[in-house]
Structure 1
């Protein structure tokens, strides 16, 4: 729906503050009344926008994962894959998209409508990361997945809040320290004599 797409685009460009009835209707090219006709509240529209934004992100992530071949990878290569998927290059609009993602995480603590959306998206992110680890010859354990994601999330939020120009590098450094503990390589089979 055009209203949800408009709200998602506005949210990525300017955060939650940018998602207002008038701005959404104008971006969608629809009458102002359409935002209140189709949605119970602005929070309802925002929740749908968050879901659409997350689905777009997951589609892009899955497309990239489909390109990853099955191979044993060293820690540095696995870290690069994870950073690429969870953080991505942080230039221009991509930085704003990353900030919007983390704003959604924080907002879900105060907005019950976002909690369920974020929970579903988090499950999808966990599954995607698990697939990356499997294709990389790594052990996949739920607590390891959560640890890896929390390390990346913490590093990125910390860097963004300090106006660090390279949150990607901080996440890479932190992740490098825990990758072999959280997702150790699968044991190599010994060749038969």
Structure 2
């Protein structure tokens, strides 16, 4: 950050990040521009360069804000899951709901936004750094779902489950008749008993 951090400065920085996160959700990375962010936040245009070293720095802040909000929502879901032995389908359903959303949720925008953020990691080093910082928290949530389902998995197996889910979600979104939840469910069902077998 260019400016010395003050309470007013931190509030302004937060305003800009929230505005950028809204634009990111609505229109993807192309929608996040200095002028658009300043207008959405209701602040002078110069604020975007005063509080952020670059546009990529601002985008990374928006990505992190969105991802942290998603993590909190997933944590709330996982915390409400009872502990009991579950079969493959029930376990996979919990993972899919946590990572992608419920089947009865018709809103595809959160899935599209998540796919864009994942794909952007290859182009934006700052976004890649955000994903690297938050990856362990996603793995912790996945591990909790597995434990609550009476299963076990190594950290590497959890990582492979997450990679499979994310890769399948990305791949399914470019198909003409995309059904990302079904696609991820089918992919995880084929490996869940191997990567996260029941305990005992």
**Partner residue, 1:184:** 197
Gaps of 5+ in 1: 188-193
Q: Does 1:75 align with 2:81?
A: no
Runs (4+) off by over 6 Å: none
1:123-157 superposed Cα distances (whole Å, 9 cap, x missing partner): 11111000110111111211211221122112211
1:51-79 superposed Cα distances (whole Å, 9 cap, x missing partner): 00000000000011110111111111101
Q: Map 1:65-144 to 2 at 5 A.
A: 65-89=78-102, 91=105, 94-144=107-157
What displacement does 1:95 show?
A: 1.8
**Partner residue, 2:37:** 24
Cα distance in 1, alignment partners of residues 17 and 50 from structure 2: 13
Q: TM-score, normalised by structure 2?
A: 0.88
Q: TM-score, normalised by structure 1?
A: 0.91
Gaps of 5+ in 2: 1-13
Cα distance in 1, alignment partners of residues 179 and 121 from structure 2: 26
Cα distance in 1, alignment partners of residues 118 and 178 from structure 2: 21
Q: Secondary structure at the match of 2:151?
A: coil
> Is the contact between residue 50 and residue 117 of structure 1 (CA under 8 Å) also seen in structure 2?
yes
RMSD: 1.4
Q: Larger deviation: 50-59 or 142-151?
A: 142-151
Cα distance in 2, alignment partners of residues 55 and 109 from structure 1: 20
Q: Larger deviation: 33-42 or 52-61?
A: 33-42
Q: Does 1:169 align with 2:182?
A: yes
Aligned residues: 186
Cα distance in 1, alignment partners of residues 119 and 169 from structure 2: 13
